[in-house]
Amino acid sequence: MDVPHDLIVGYRRFREETFARQARRYRALAQAQNSRTMVIGCADSRVDPATIFSAAPGELFIVRNIAALVPPFEETCSYHGTSAAIEFAVTSLNVENILVLGHGMCGGIAAALEAAEQRAVGRFIKSWVELIAESRDELLDLEHIEPEARQKALERIAIQVSLSNLTTFPFISDAMEDGRLALHGAWFSIADAELRWLDRDTGVFEQIDLGNP
């Protein structure tokens, strides 16, 4: 078999270490999953939600895409991978929380900014990041914003756009009204592992207090 060497080495380590310690958990998970929280994260290899939250297998239901974006609800004969995952999490798993997790130095957000300048970013990427085009353009209309600050601002705005789009799904709005589901937003800094949580009342991303679990 033509298996990439690093993958087979990692698999062997998983079997010898992780699985050996948690075999009972995996056998139980084979019967069903019961995640309380869904995380919508970026596909970026540096930002793994399970690692950030030290989650064991089965604890988080995760979907990852470019820039952790959520499209608005729509009923079309097309492919809706992220929407399908959201529907399954809410209607089948009955998750209690959905977290949209953005991050610093996000390539998808950078692509959205590049697309505004009519630069080539890829056929599928361009159409995907257009989900935040309106908010991006409003940001670009502001003067005196340095590129780094503009990138960070759009990363956080994109989280809020995705949270707003989540509320357009009828099964989500129903679950929220019944008190069965809560929506959250957070931003993660890769360089220093800093996690900032969105206060949805103020719109401010506040640093997590590690001394107050």
Asked if residue 170 is part of any domain, the answer here is yes
pLDDT at residue 199 in the model: 96
d(CA 145, CA 137): 13
pTM, entire model? 0.95
pLDDT digits over 34-65, tens only? 999 999 999 999 999 999 999 999 999 999 99
| Dihedral angle sign, alpha carbons of residues 107, 113, 116, 118 | negative
- The reported pLDDT for the residue numbered 212 is 59
Nearest to 33 by CA among 107, 89, 82, 74: 89
Domain extent for 21: 1-32
- Residues 110, 172 within the same domain: yes
Give me the CATH number covering residue 78. 3.40.1050.10
Q: What span, in angstroms and rounded, lies between the C-alpha atoms of 158 and 112?
A: 10
pLDDT in tens, 90-119: 999 999 999 999 999 999 999 999 999 989
Question: Are 16 and 98 contained in the same domain?
Answer: no
Residue 189 pairs with which residues in a beta bridge? 194
- Average pLDDT of 170-174? 98
